[in-house]
């Protein structure tokens, strides 16, 4: 009987300790890590026939890249999202997370590769494979930066 009471008491204590306390929202926000400020911001635009891609790229202190990208393709819903990645040599490997059109319930994520040549970024074409819902470039398969549609030029960043 003593063992049963001991286990019940132990179980109750563990239950009380594992409950999350209600925190003051003001205190919770103060403890959150603030987003890192970029050391540089560069804006790009690419045009191909009636299609446009706008890219705002932030370079962070740790060398990582973040930013915003909007794709407007003729007769297609607009794609609006965030880009995150890093340079390996002169190539930026990034992940583009976006919503398409007015449907905010479904989020898509695609890998992207950009080759930097001078002030120009070239969006590469590569073989993409999807495994268990994650898309990535096929390892060992080259990314083509020659036969491409989109070459980005630097533009002035628009204030929002």
- Indicate the average pLDDT of the chain: 81
Tell me the average pLDDT across 101-120.
90
Antiparallel, parallel or unpaired: β 134-137 and 151-155: unpaired
pLDDT of 68: 95
Tell me the average pLDDT across 129-143.
86
pLDDT of 25: 44
Q: For residue 159, what pLDDT band results from cuts at 50, 70 and 90?
A: low
Closest CA to 87 of 129, 135, 40, 29: 40
- Greater confidence, 133 or 8? 133
pTM: 0.72
CB 37 within 8 A of CB 149: no
> Environment class of residue 67 by beta-carbon count within 10 Å: exposed (0-12), middle (13-18) or buried (19+)?
buried
d(CA 92, CA 63): 11
pLDDT digits (tens, 9 = 90+) for 19-50: 444 444 444 433 333 467 888 899 999 999 99
In which region does residue 132 sit, left (phi positive, over 0), alpha (psi from -120 to 50) or beta (all else)? left
- Greater confidence, 98 or 102? 98
pLDDT digits (tens, 9 = 90+) for 66-86: 999 999 999 999 999 999 999
């Amino acid at each position: 009987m003593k063992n049963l009471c001991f286990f019940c008491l132990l179980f109750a204590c563990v239950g009380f300790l594992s409950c999350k306390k209600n925190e003051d929202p003001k205190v919770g926000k103060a403890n959150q890590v603030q987003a890192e400020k970029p050391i540089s911001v560069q804006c790009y635009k690419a045009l191909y026939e009636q299609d446009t891609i706008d890219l705002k790229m932030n370079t962070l202190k740790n060398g990582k890249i973040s930013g915003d990208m909007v794709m407007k393709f003729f007769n297609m819903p607009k794609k609006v999202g965030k880009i995150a990645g890093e340079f390996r040599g002169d190539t930026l490997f990034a992940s583009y997370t976006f919503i398409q059109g007015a449907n905010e319930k479904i989020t898509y994520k695609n890998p992207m590769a950009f080759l930097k040549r001078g002030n120009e970024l070239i969006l590469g074409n590569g073989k993409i494979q999807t495994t268990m819902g994650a898309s990535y470039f096929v390892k060992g398969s080259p990314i083509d930066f020659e036969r491409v549609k989109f070459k980005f030029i630097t533009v002035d960043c628009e204030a929002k």
